[in-house]
Amino acid sequence: MEKQDLNVQEVIWNLDDLYTGRDDPALQRDHRWCLDRSEEIEKKYSGRVGELDATGLFALVESLEELDCRLGSISTFAYLGFATNTRDEAAAAFLQEIRETASRIDTRTVFFELEWNAVPAERAEELCRAPKLARYRHHLESMRRYADHLLSREEETLLLERAPVGRSSWTSLFDKVMGHMKFGEDGRTEEEVLSDLYSPDRETRKKAAGELTCGLKSQLHVLTHIFNTILADKMIDDRLRRYGSWLSSMNLYNELEDRTVEVLTKAVTSRYDIPARYYRLKKELLGLDELFDYDRYAPLPHLPEKVITWDECREMVLEGFAAFSPEMADIAARFFERGWIHAPIMEGKRGGAFAHPCVPEVHPYVMVNYNGTLRDVSTVAHELGHGVHQYLAAKQGYYNSDTTLVLAETASVFAELILFKGQMELLETAGEKRSFIAQKLESIFATVFRQVAMNRFEDAIHNKRRNDGELSADELGELWIRTQKEMFADSVTLTDNYRVWWSYIPHFLSTPGYVYSYAFGELLVLSLYRLYTEDPAGFVPRYLELLAAGGRDTPYRLLAPFGIDLDDPGFWHGGLGLIDEMLGELEE
C-alpha cells in the first residue's frame, strides 16, 4: 500500500485557533501587548512583593498568568509552525524572534520569583493559606522549592538575556540538522528509515541500520559539538545554582525527592534480566543464531502485517478509549474532527511525536509521523492520551494545568494499554496473540528498561563531561554501548553501527533527565491498571479526576487516593513483576 492510500496526507493541523498566520494582526497585537504589559507589571510591583497582602498578591499573580498565557499562545504557534517544516528559514527566524521576546519579558518579570522566595517562611505560609489565594496556593508553594537555587536579580537577568542563544538555540540547530538530513540512496527521512527497522525482512532491517548510521556519521562532528555544548551549558547552570547533581534540577521540577528516583532506577536496573531473557527467547522464535541490534524490532511470525489506514486507526483508538470511558473517547474524537492533529510524514518535518498543551483557552495539538503500522496506531493512542490529559487539566488554569513530567506520561501510557487490551480481543489465533503480546512487551521494554538505560547513559555523559572535559564522539559512543550492554547482557550483539545511535535522540538535548519519566509512567500505569481490573466502575472516575487535577499538587499527594507509596521499592517491583508475568506467559 502506498503512503497516499493511508488517507493521511490531508491530516494537517489547523492552527487558526491560535493565529491565522505570521501576518495575523491579532498576533502582532498580542506580541505588542505582552511587551507593554510586562513593562507595566514591572513598574507597578517590582520591589513591593514583600509588602503585598493576599488581595495584592492575587492581583499580581493573576496578571502574570494572563501575560504568560498570551505569550504561551504566541510561542506555541511559532514552535508548531517550525516543527512541521524545519527547513523553512522564515519559520525558524520567527521562532527565534519569539524566544528573544520571551527572554525580554522574563527579564522584566523575574523580580517576582526572587522577591517571593525572599518573603519569610512564616509570612509566606500565612499568605498561601488565605482563601483569596486558594487558586494559586500550590503554584506559590512550589515556586519556593527553588529558593536555594536562585541567584541575584542582576545574575538572573543576565542569564535570561542570554537564554535565546543558549540551549533552545542549540536544540533548534539539532532539529534543523536532522530535518535536512537524508538517508540512503533514495534520500529518505529519518522516520522512513527508522520504520524499516520493524520490517520482517532481515536485509531490509540491516540496510536501514546502515543508512541511519551513515547519515548520522555524515553530521557526527556537528551533533557531537551540539551535545558537548548542552552538557557544558547544564554543567555551568547547575554549578551556579548549587544543584547537588546533574539530575537534581529535573527531580525538583518533577516535585520528586532524589530518593524516589534512586529507588525507581535501582528497581529497574535490578531486573535487567527480564529484557535479556526476552531477547534470548526472541532469537529462538526468529530462528536466528545471533540477534543483532537491527533485529530487536523484527516482528515475530504471525504478527498481523496489515497496513492500517488513518480512518482505521481512528476507529481502533476511539473504540479502545470508549470501552474504558465514553468521556475520554469523546474528547479524543475532537482531535480527529477539528484539525488538532498533524499526521503525515513530510520532508523537513521533525521526527517522533508529541502533544503540545498550548494554553487553557485553546485545545492541545498532536503531532505524529504516521506510516500505517500497529506501532504507529499505538503512538497515536499515546499522544492522544497526553492530549486528553492536557484538555482535562486546562480547567485548572495556565499555571496549575502544567503537569510534572512523571505524571504527564501516565495518561499516555495508560492509553496505549487500553488500546492493547482492545486489540487483543480482536485476534483469533494463538500465534497472532503470542506475537502481539511480544510486541507489547517490546513497547514496555522501550518505555521502562531502555529509558532507564538511557538515563544511565545521561548520568555517565554528564558526569564525565564535568570531570574530564569535552567528550569525543568515540567517548560518547563507548558510554552508549556500555550502558546499553548492561541491559541486553549477552542477548543482543551490538554492532559498530550502533555506537553512534545516541546522536539522534532529542530528549537528551531538549530536556536533560527527562527519560526516567517514561519508566515512572509505565510502572505506575501497570499498578493503576490492576486497580482498574479490580473495580472498573469505581476506578474510572478517580482516574479522570487525577487527569483533571493537572499540576495542582505534588505527585505524592495526587496519587495518595490510590494508596501508592512512591518511595517503596515494593511498589516499583510490583509493576516489574507484572512485566515478568507477561514474559513468563510468552515463555510457556
**What's the angle, vertex CA 274, arms to CA 251 and CA 568, rounded to 5?**
40
Q: Looking at per-residue confidence, does 531 or 306 come out higher?
A: 531
Which pLDDT score is estimated for 2? 44
pLDDT for 110 beyond 50 = yes
Residue 3 pLDDT greater than 70, yes or no: no
Nearest 5°: phi and psi at 233?
A: -60, -45
> What is the DSSP pairing of strand 354-356 with strand 341-342?
unpaired
| CA–CA distance, 156 with 164 (Å, rounded to integer) | 14
CB-CB contact of 196 with 215 (8 Å)? no
Query: For 154-187, what is each residue's pLDDT tens digit?
Result: 999 999 999 998 999 999 999 999 999 999 999 9
Amino acid at 51: E
Q: Which of 439, 442, 446 is nearest to 423 (CA)?
A: 439
User: Amino acid identity, residue 316?
Assistant: M
Neighbours of 435 (CB within 10 A): 20
Q: What is the pLDDT of residue 307?
A: 87
Cell numbers at 565, concatenated: 507509596
pLDDT at residue 283, rounded to an integer: 95
> Taking a C-beta distance cutoff of 8 angstroms, is the pair 112, 45 a contact?
yes
Q: Cα–chain-centroid distance for residue 482?
A: 25
Give mean pLDDT, residues 209-231: 97
What does the pLDDT average to over 13-34? 97
| Cα–Cα distance measured from residue 86 to residue 89, given in angstroms and rounded to the nearest whole number | 8
Q: Region 361-371: what's the mean pLDDT?
A: 96
DSSP code of residue 472: P
Q: Which residues contact 167 (CB under 8 A, 6 or more apart)?
A: 230, 233, 234, 509, 510
Q: How high does pLDDT run on average in the chain? A: 94
C-alpha to C-alpha distance for 163 and 588, rounded to whole angstroms: 55
Q: What is the pLDDT of residue 14?
A: 96
Find the range with the poorest average confidence among 58-62, 291-295, 434-438. 434-438
Among the residue ranges 123-132, 326-335, 438-447, the one predicted with the least confidence is 438-447
Cell of 482: 556500555
Taking residue 309's Cβ as centre, other Cβ atoms within 10 Å add up to 16
Phi, psi of 561, deg, nearest 5: -60, -15
Residues 268-286 have a mean pLDDT of: 96
> Quick one: 575 exposed, middle or buried, by C-beta within 10 A (0-12, 13-18, 19+)?
buried
Q: Please tell me the distance from the alpha carbon of residue 470 to that of residue 462, in angstroms, as a whole number.
A: 10
pLDDT at 426 over 90: no
CA nearest 128: which of 54, 200, 192?
A: 54
Between 326 and 430, the more confident residue is: 326
- Of 227, 289, 222, residue with least CA distance to 458: 227
Q: What is the pLDDT of residue 305?
A: 72
3-state secondary structure of 564: coil
Give the pLDDT mean for 331-350: 96
Q: pLDDT tier at 546 (50, 70, 90 boundaries)?
A: very high
| Residue 8 phi, psi dihedral angles, 5° rounding | -115, -10
The average pLDDT across 451-468 equals 98
The bridge status of strand 365-367 relative to strand 354-356 is antiparallel
Check pLDDT > 60 for residue 486: yes
The fold of the 15-165 domain, in CATH, is Butyryl-CoA Dehydrogenase, subunit A; domain 3 (1.20.140)
Angle of CA points 86, 92, 97, to nearest 5°: 160
pLDDT at residue number 423: 81
Residue 4 pLDDT exceeds 90: no
C-alpha cell belonging to residue 280: 534470548
Q: Considering only CA atoms, which of 472, 454, 471, 469 is closest in space to residue 513?
A: 454
Mean predicted confidence (pLDDT) in 381-390: 97
pLDDT at 383 over 50: yes
Q: Report the distance separating Cα 202 and Cα 210, nearest Å.
A: 12
The SS3 assignment for 528 reads helix
Q: Which value, in Å, is the radius of gyration of the alpha carbons in the chain? A: 24
pLDDT of residue 1: 41
Residue 381, CB half-sphere, CA atoms under 13 Å: how many? 28
